[in-house]
C-alpha cells in the first residue's frame, strides 16, 4: 500500500533556496551593464548625466547622449576622498558590489541549516535507539502488506501439519466464498491463535492461508506496537484495523503476540502503562469488528502460558491451533518439500533421514537440508548423498569436528573407554535407541568424544524400567573408567546432570518411587527453555524432601552398580572396542559388530 507524499520542512527549504537562486539570476540578467566610476566622474564634469538616483551602494541615472546605444547607466559608489585621489592619477577605476540577495541570505541561513540538519540527524538516531520511532508517523501502523505475489506461499509449501491445515482451510473457504460458507448461520472465528515451539512453521502457515485465499496479508510483530510514549501502541492498533477494513477481505497476522498480550497485573505498578493500554485497545477492536466484514485475525506465540485470559476468551481468539514438532511421517513430508531445491542422489532415503531426526522442527529440517548441500559442495560432489545428510545430523546434534585439539595419549585412552562404555551399555539394554556412531574426535560443543544414538521411531510413552536403563547407559561411561583405570575423571559431568534430572523426575513428577504417586514438582507449560520442571517453592515437608533425596541417590547408585556389572561381563568387547577407537577415531556398528543391539536384557 503506497503511503501519500508528505510535505516537510525540508521540502520547503529546498523550494525556498531554488527561489532565491532564480531571483538572483533574474536580477543579474535584468540589470544594466555597470559604468566604471572613473567614466561616471568624467561624464558628471561634462554635464552629460541626468535624473541621478543616489543609493547606498550604487548610483543610477540617464545619459543625455546615448553611449554605445545605452541611455541609462548604473555605477557602484566609491568613497569621495579615494575617488578624487584616483581621478588625479588618471587611472580608470570602478567599484564592486559587496553581494547580492542570495549571498547575503545564505551567509546567515546556511550555518543555521547545517546546525539544524546535524541536530535532526542525531536526534532521529537517538529516538530510534530509544524506541521512539518517527515523530511524524508515531501513531501509524508499521504493518507490512503482502499480496499473493509477495507471499509466494500456499498449502503446497507447508507439510507435516495436516491437522492445522485442515482447520485453516475453513478460513480460506470463508474468505473466498463467504455467503456459501455462512448459509447455515455459521460465522468464522474472530481470532485464531497458532501455538507451538519455535521453528514449527506458524508464520509460514499464516502466509499460506493468505496465498490460498488470494487476499492482502497484513503482517506485524507484537513488539512493534509498543513504544515509549503512552497511547502510541493503542493508536497503531486502531490504524491497523482501519487499514484492514479498507482492504477487506484480508488477513491480519500478529507475530509474537506475547509481546503485546502479556498478562496484566504481573510485575506492573499501575494500570496506565503503555503495554496495558495497547492490550486494552486490541481487546476493544476484537469486540468491535464484525467477522462478516471479511477481516480474519491470525496470531502466533510460543509462550501461551503468559497471555492475558481476556485475550483468549470466546469471542476474541475463539480457536487455538497447536502446531507441534512433526512426527516421522510429517518429517518425511517436510523433507520432500526442501529436497526439491537441491540436487540429491536418486537413492536418497528420506524415511531413514526422518528416523534419525526425531524431535527436529520444520526449521531444523530446512537447516539440515542446507547443511547437507553445503557439505556436498565442500567435498566437490555433483549431488547430495545420504552420507552428507548423516554428517549434517551429527554437525547439528553434537557440533563440528575439531581435529586441531590434541589430547594426551592417556586422555585419549580414557575418552575411548568412556565412550565405548556408553555404546556397549546401549546395545545391551532393552528399549534403548540403537547406536549410530561412536567417536573420540573432539566437537565444538565441548565434548571430547560422543556416542550418537538415534531413535528409529517416535515414542510417546516410556516405562520405569526404560528410564532406569537410560540412567545405566549414561553412567556406563564413568563405570568404564572406574573398571579399567581404577579412578574416575571429570568427563562424566554432563552425564551426571542428565542422570540426576531423570531420577528427580521419576520421584517428583512421575510418581514411580517409594515416596508415593503424588506429584511434588510440576512440569512447566512453556515451549521455551530447557527447564523441564518449573522452579517454585516446595509445598511439602522437610521429611518428604529427605525421602526424595534418599530415593534419588538410591536410583543413581543402583544404575551405577548395574552399569559396572554389565561392563564387567563385556570386558573383552570394551577393551577391543576402545583399541579400535584409538586407531580409527570413529566406529559404526558395521565396523564393530559388538555395537549392534544384543538380545534385550531388562
From start to end of 343-491, where are the E strands?
435-439, 450-453
What local confidence, expressed as pLDDT, does residue 444 receive?
67
Residue 486, sorted as left (phi over 0), alpha (psi -120 to 50) or beta, turns out to be left
Q: pLDDT tens for residues 475-511?
A: 999 999 999 999 998 888 889 999 999 999 999 989 8
CATH architecture of 409-595: Up-down Bundle (1.20)
Residues across the chain: 602
C-alpha dihedral, 362 to 363 to 366 to 372, nearest 10°: -120
Collect all residues with Cβ–Cβ distance below 8 Å to 409 and sequence separation of at least 6: none
Out of 227, 285, 413, 419, the active site residue is 419
* pLDDT on residue 6: 43
Q: Quick one: how far is CA 76 from the chain centroid?
A: 70
Residues 1-57: pLDDT tens digits?
Answer: 444 444 455 566 666 667 666 666 655 555 556 777 677 777 777 777 777 777 766
What is the per-residue pLDDT for 384?
Answer: 92
Degrees to nearest 5, angle at CA 436 with 434 and 437: 135
Query: Could you say which residues of the chain have pLDDT below 50?
Result: 1-7, 91, 93, 130-139, 148-149, 268-272, 530-535, 600
Rg, C-alpha atoms of the chain = 40
Cα–Cα distance, 510 to 412 (Å, whole number)? 39
What pLDDT was estimated at residue 95?
54
Please give the model's pTM, rounded to 2 decimal places. 0.69
Instruction: Specify the CATH number for 328-397; select among 1.10.8.60, 3.30.413.10, 3.40.50.11240, 1.10.3720.10.
Output: 1.10.8.60
Instruction: Of 241, 273, 244, 276, give the one whose Cα is nearest residue 261.
Output: 276
Q: Which residues pair with 262 in a beta bridge?
A: 307
pLDDT given for residue 69 in this prediction: 67
- In this structure, which topology does domain 144-322 adopt according to CATH? Rossmann fold (3.40.50)
- HEC string for 357-377: CCCCCHHHHHHHHHHHHHHHH
How far apart are alpha carbons 499 and 84 in whole angstroms? 111
Residue boundaries of the structural domains of the chain: 31-98, 144-322, 328-397, 409-595
Phi, psi of 465 (to 5 degrees): -65, -35
What pLDDT was estimated at residue 534? 47
CB of 449 closer than 8 Å to CB of 440: yes
> Is 419 a catalytic site residue?
yes
Cα 573 to Cα 88: distance, rounded to the nearest angstrom: 124
Handedness of CA 73, 78, 81, 85 (dihedral sign): negative
369 torsion bin: left (phi>0), alpha (psi -120 to 50), beta (else):
alpha
Nearest CA-CA partner of 257 in 217, 219, 295: 219
Closest CA to 236 of 203, 273, 205, 274: 274
Amino acid at each position: 500500500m503506497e503511503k501519500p507524499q508528505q510535505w516537510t520542512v525540508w521540502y520547503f527549504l529546498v523550494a525556498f533556496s531554488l527561489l532565491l537562486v532564480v531571483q538572483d539570476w533574474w536580477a543579474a540578467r535584468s540589470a544594466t551593464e555597470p559604468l566604471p566610476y572613473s567614466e561616471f566622474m568624467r561624464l558628471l564634469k561634462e554635464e552629460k548625466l541626468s535624473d541621478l538616483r543616489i543609493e547606498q551602494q550604487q548610483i543610477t541615472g540617464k545619459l543625455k547622449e546615448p553611449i554605445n546605444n545605452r541611455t541609462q547607466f548604473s555605477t557602484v559608489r566609491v568613497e569621495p576622498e579615494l575617488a578624487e585621489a584616483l581621478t588625479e592619477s588618471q587611472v580608470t577605476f570602478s567599484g564592486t558590489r559587496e553581494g547580492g540577495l542570495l549571498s547575503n541570505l545564505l551567509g546567515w541561513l546556511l550555518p543555521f541549516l547545517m546546525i539544524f540538519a546535524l541536530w535532526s540527524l542525531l536526534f532521529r538516531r537517538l529516538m530510534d535507539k530509544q524506541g521512539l520511532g518517527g515523530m511524524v508517523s508515531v501513531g501509524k501502523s508499521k504493518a507490512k502488506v503482502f499480496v499473493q505475489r509477495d507471499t509466494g506461499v500456499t498449502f503446497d509449501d507447508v507439510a507435516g501439519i495436516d491437522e492445522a491445515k485442515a482447520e485453516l482451510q475453513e478460513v480460506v473457504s470463508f474468505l473466498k466464498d463467504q455467503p456459501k460458507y455462512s448459509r447455515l448461520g455459521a460465522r468464522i472465528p474472530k481470532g485464531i491463535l497458532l501455538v507451538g515451539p519455535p521453528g514449527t512453521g506458524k508464520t509460514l502457515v499464516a502466509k499460506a492461508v493468505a496465498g490460498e485465499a488470494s487476499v492482502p496479508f497484513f503482517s506485524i510483530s507484537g513488539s512493534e506496537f509498543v513504544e515509549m510514549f503512552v497511547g502510541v501502541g493503542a493508536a497503531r492498533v486502531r490504524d491497523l484495523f482501519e487499514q484492514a477494513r479498507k482492504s477487506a477481505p484480508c488477513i491480519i497476522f500478529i507475530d509474537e503476540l506475547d509481546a503485546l498480550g502479556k498478562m496484566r497485573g504481573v510485575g506492573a505498578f499501575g494500570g496506565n502503562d503503555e503495554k496495558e493500554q495497547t492490550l486494552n485497545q486490541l481487546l476493544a477492536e476484537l469486540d468491535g469488528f464484525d467477522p462478516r466484514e471479511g477481516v480474519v485475525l491470525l496470531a502466533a506465540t510460543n509462550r501461551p502460558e503468559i497471555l492475558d485470559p481476556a485475550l483468549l476468551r470466546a469471542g476474541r481468539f475463539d480457536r487455538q491451533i497447536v502446531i507441534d514438532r512433526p512426527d516421522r511421517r510429517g518429517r518425511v513430508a517436510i523433507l520432500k518439500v526442501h529436497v526439491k531445491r537441491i540436487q540429491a542422489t536418486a537413492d536418497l532415503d528420506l524415511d531413514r533421514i526422518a528416523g534419525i531426526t526425531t524431535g527436529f522442527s520444520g526449521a531444523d529440517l530446512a537447516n539440515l537440508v542446507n547443511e547437507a548441500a553445503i557439505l556436498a559442495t565442500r567435498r566437490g560432489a555433483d549431488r547430495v548423498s545420504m552420507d552428507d545428510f548423516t554428517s549434517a545430523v551429527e554437525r547439528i546434534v553434537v557440533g563440528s569436528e575439531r581435529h586441531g585439539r590434541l589430547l594426551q595419549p592417556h586422555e585419549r585412552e580414557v575418552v575411548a573407554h568412556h565412550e565405548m562404555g556408553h555404546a556397549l551399555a546401549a546395545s545391551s539394554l532393552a528399549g534403548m535407541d540403537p547406536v549410530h556412531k561412536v567417536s573420540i574426535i573432539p566437537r565444538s560443543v565441548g565434548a571430547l568424544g560422543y556416542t550418537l544414538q538415534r531413535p528409529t521411531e517416535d515414542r510417546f510413552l516410556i516405562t520405569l524400567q526404560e528410564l532406569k536403563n537410560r540412567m545405566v547407559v549414561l553412567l556406563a561411561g564413568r563405570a568404564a573408567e572406574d573398571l579399567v583405570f581404577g579412578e574416575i575423571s571429570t568427563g562424566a559431568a554432563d552425564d551426571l546432570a542428565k542422570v540426576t534430572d531423570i531420577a528427580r523426575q521419576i520421584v517428583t513428577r512421575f510418581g514411580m518411587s517409594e515416596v508415593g504417586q503424588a506429584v511434588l514438582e510440576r512440569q512447566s507449560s512453556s515451549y521455551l527453555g530447557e527447564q523441564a520442571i518449573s522452579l517454585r517453592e516446595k509445598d511439602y515437608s522437610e521429611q518428604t524432601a529427605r525421602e526424595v533425596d534418599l530415593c534419588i541417590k538410591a536410583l543413581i547408585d543402583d544404575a551405577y552398580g548395574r552399569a559396572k556389572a554389565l561392563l564387567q561381563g563385556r570386558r573383552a568387547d570394551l577393551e577391543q572396542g576402545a583399541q579400535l577407537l584409538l586407531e580409527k577415531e570413529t566406529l559404526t556398528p558395521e565396523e564393530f559388530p559388538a555395537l549392534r543391539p544384543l538380545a534385550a536384557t531388562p
